[in-house]
Amino acid sequence: KAGVTQTPRYLIKTRGQQVTLSCSPISGHRSVSWYQQTPGQGLQFLFEYFSETQRNKGNFPGRFSGRQFSNSRSEMNVSTLELGDSALYLCASSLLYEQYFGPGTRLTVT
Amino acid sequence: AQSVTQPDIHITVSEGASLELRCNYSYGATPYLFWYVQSPGQGLQLLLKYFSGDTLVQGIKGFEAEFKRSQSSFNLRKPSVHWSDAAEYFCAVVPRNTNAGKSTFGDGTTLTVKP
């Protein structure tokens, strides 16, 4: 079975721009979660989608949003990028409790 | 408040030595317990999990973990560390009868392996 894929793997953006990241879960997994990972803050939960609905949400500003499509693929969007948004963004898919992570998208904001 | 604690930020062991990484949790009822490993610049990989039953669980790459209810701990062990085990290790919990979206991760322990 193919693993979780994330595109793009690397991205460089300028402050004020917006960005969209994509995640394709393992076939059959209906839950997709997004995390932001930085050296200073560690692994922080952004949100989780299940069957096209946001089921859980972390403590991030409204600039961070996401959606899930009927095939369970998910996208997250960050608007009005700030320097502090530079991070590794991880997507994880799940059937129930354990999560399977993608390789991440490294976002650099300049 | 519910929490997961990995007391050791950084651990250094010699290749071939044994390893134990600590994880403590604070939850009303025993949650589901997990260990993940992350190599630099990569995503997290599930090493092992505990739901119920035998308190000693075996995982991939020769790792095992022991659940101790009395200590609210789920420590990860390996008898003989290899240089390729150098990575960051995360303990995670999910409250029973919820879902993966309720996962809480520890802050991680970075393992360095000396030759």
Place of tokens 């505990």: B50
Please report the pLDDT score of residue A71 as a whole number.
95
Q: Would the pLDDT of B1 be above 80?
A: no
Please report the pLDDT score of residue B9 as a whole number.
96
Cβ–Cβ pairs < 8 A, chains A and B:
64
Q: Would the pLDDT of A40 be above 90?
A: no
CA-to-CA separations, B104 to A70, A76, B23, B34, B47, in angstroms, rounded: 27, 20, 12, 10, 16
Over chain A, what is the mean pLDDT?
96
The gap from C-alpha A102 to its chain's centroid, in whole angstroms, comes to: 10
Q: Which of residues 55-114 of B touch A (CB under 8 A)?
A: 90, 92, 94, 99-103, 105, 107-108
Q: Would the pLDDT of B104 be above 90?
A: yes
Contact B101 A48 (CB under 8 A): yes
Q: Would the pLDDT of B2 be above 90?
A: no
Burial class (CB in 10 A: 0-12, 13-18, 19+), A27: exposed
Please report the pLDDT score of residue B92 as a whole number.
96
Residues of A in contact with B108 (CB under 8 A): 42-43
More confident residue, A1 or B23: B23
Q: pLDDT tens digit string along B43-102? A: 999 999 999 999 999 999 999 999 999 999 999 999 999 999 999 999 999 999 898 889
The angle formed by the CA atoms of residues A36, A42 and A46, to the nearest 5 degrees, is: 30
Q: B105: pLDDT confidence band, cut at 50, 70 and 90? A: very high
Place of tokens 């608007």: A79
Q: Read off the pLDDT of each residue in A65-89 and give the average, rounded to a whole number.
A: 97
Please report the pLDDT score of residue A28 as a whole number.
94
Of B3, B1, B4, B25, which is closest to residue B108 (Cα–Cα)?
A: B4
Of A66, A72, A77, which is closest to residue A100 (Cα–Cα)?
A: A72
Contact A98 B100 (CB under 8 A): yes
In one letter, which amino acid is B16? G
Please report the pLDDT score of residue B97 as a whole number.
87
Torsion from C-alpha of A68, B40, B25, B6, nearest 10 degrees:
-150
The gap from C-alpha B60 to its chain's centroid, in whole angstroms, comes to: 12
- Give the Cα separation of B8 and B52 in Å (integer): 26
